[in-house]
Structure 1
Amino acid sequence: MEWIKIFSNDTEARSKITHDKPQLLVLHGKRICLVLHEENFIAVQDACSHNGESLSKGHVNYLGEIVCPWHGYRFQLKSGRACDSSSADLKTYPVKSDDSGFFIGI
């Protein structure tokens, strides 16, 4: 796994990422959706496993699920697990922050 530095620190990340608003990142050709939810950062694949639409265009509901803007498929942010068994789970990416910066592992 390679840790990619996204921000200088956690404070900068929190100032740039709006709570519960998915943000698209492209890291080494991978489209990743980053979300700040309940004070935690969560990173999942950006493509909905049902039909490929960008989840960063979707929204996060009150249950902590990311909702695809096309057909409303829902996925648990923390685990990437599909809430409907008709689509595959999302790939998740680890996030860490320390004195040297804010990183996503790919």
Structure 2
Amino acid sequence: MEWIKIFDSEASAKATIPLTKARAVVVQGQEICVAHTAAGLFAVDNVCPHLGDALSRGTTNYLNEIICPWHSYRFHLQTGQECRGRTQPLKRYTLEIREDGVYVGMPEKAPALEPFSD
């Protein structure tokens, strides 16, 4: 896993993303939604698997869910599961709070395959 710094500190992240809100960040060309709940900060894909709206435009609730702004689908931020099982779960990313900032864990890209030659 590759760790990418997305905020200089936990305080900076929480100041940028108020409680019950979310914000999109671009990491390695991919949009990730960082959500702030009473339980902390969470990172998931920014695209709702139902019909593709940006989850960063939604809000979070006391159940630790992010709510899609389009059709109000709710996804638990710790498991990625939609509350009623109506669509596939969200892809989640590990966040790590360190002394020097907030990092998101990105899967390392597989090396390109070389063409087969005789």
Q: Same fold (TM over 0.5)?
A: yes
Which string of whole-angstrom CA distances, capped at 9 and with x for unpartnered residues, describes residues 68-106 of structure 1?
Answer: 111111111121111122200001100011123211111
Out of 55-64 and 45-54, give the one that drifted further: 55-64
- Aligned pair 1:59/2:62, yes or no? no
Distance 2:78 2:32 in 1: 14
Which residue does 2:110 correspond to in 1? none
The structure having more radius of gyration, on CA atoms, is 2
Which residue does 1:26 correspond to in 2? 26
TM-score under structure 2 length normalisation: 0.82
TM-score under structure 1 length normalisation: 0.91
Following superposition, the deviation at residue 63 of structure 1 comes to 2.0
Distance 1:37 1:3 in 2: 22
- Structure 1 segments unaligned to the other structure (5+ residues): none
Distance 2:21 2:47 in 1: 16
Following superposition, the deviation at residue 39 of structure 1 comes to 4.6
Distance 1:68 1:52 in 2: 9
Which string of whole-angstrom CA distances, capped at 9 and with x for unpartnered residues, describes residues 6-61 of structure 1?
Answer: 12222222222211101111111211110111151111111001111100111112
Which residue does 1:95 correspond to in 2? 95
- Any conservation in 1 of the 2:35–2:66 contact (CA below 8 Å)? no
Distance 1:99 1:58 in 2: 29
Identical amino acids, percent of aligned pairs: 40
AA at the equivalent of 1:30: Q
